[in-house]
Amino acid sequence: MKDLRREDTNAVILGMAKDGTTIKEIVRRSGHSRSVVRKVLRGQRSDVFRVRESSLELYLPWLDAQWTAEERNATALWRRLKNQGFRGCLRVVTEWATRRRHSDQVNGDALRRAPSARTIARLMTIGRDSLSKSETVTVAAIEGGVPLLVEAREIVAGFPAMIRKKTLADLEPWLERARSSLVASFANGVLKDRSAVSAAITSPWSNGQTEGQITKLKLVKRQMYGRGKLDLLQARVIGAG
């Protein structure tokens, strides 16, 4: 239980960093020191609560058990630790308790705070192997609370699969299912351009070569920006071809 809680706390720090939060802001929101946050981000520290690892090492399981049992007075914990042979000062236990209290608050806020629509869309569309532990928990909560999002994800994933497999017979069932889902607007767009979508499924041809040449032309143009005119651009493109 202790290791799982610490992993969750580290995952919160890593998640904030992944969302572009600065280290200064992570320190302010998490309550951990800049040094600890940097070590977590660098993968150099797995226990964000160990203030004096050499002195508290043997007593961390006991402290976790007491904290879980709502015994959270640092002075009382220190006195009971001294009866067990602990030789550290009160400040060591106080720092540990302060960090632990801040961490519990951050974890609680993270669970209560609803993710944005953009965050939900990203979490529901990227591969499961790319999710952190906290993101996996969030996705599981979303799937349990909003089954329609699970259906929408399956429908969206089915569209490129249909294109790749060249299965035109799947288009009509896909449209019927999609038009009654959360991605109805996308389905209506496909329906309006149905002939082009059908051609993309059945035709062996694609505009990949055209798009590639356009990309190449834009690259050459940007490379020589401010250095030449249309005649030089033409010479470079024809010469490269």
Chain centre to alpha carbon of residue 237: 41
CB 240 within 8 A of CB 220: yes
Residue segments in the chain with a per-residue pLDDT below the cut of 50: 1-4, 48-54
Give the pLDDT score at 70. Answer: 86
- In this structure, how many other beta carbons lie within 10 angstroms of the beta carbon of residue 96? 23
* pLDDT, tens only, 43-76: 655 554 444 444 777 788 888 888 888 888 989 9
Give the pLDDT score at 176. Answer: 93
Q: Which residue, among 65, 63, 72, has the nearest Cα to 98 in the 3D structure? A: 72
Q: Which residue, among 147, 144, 138, 149, has the nearest Cα to 112 in the 3D structure? A: 138
Give the pLDDT score at 184. Answer: 92
Give the pLDDT score at 236. Answer: 75
For CA atoms 5, 7, 9, 11, the dihedral sign is: negative
CB 10 within 8 A of CB 40: yes
Report the alpha-carbon distance of residue 164 to residue 171 in Å, rounded. 12
* Measured torsion, CA atoms of residues 222, 224, 229, 231, in degrees rounded to the nearest 10: -100
Give the pLDDT score at 2. Answer: 45
Give the pLDDT score at 125. Answer: 80
Give the pLDDT score at 3. Answer: 47
Query: How far is residue 35 from each of residues 5, 40, 96, 132, 235, measured CA to CA in Å?
Result: 20, 9, 15, 22, 56
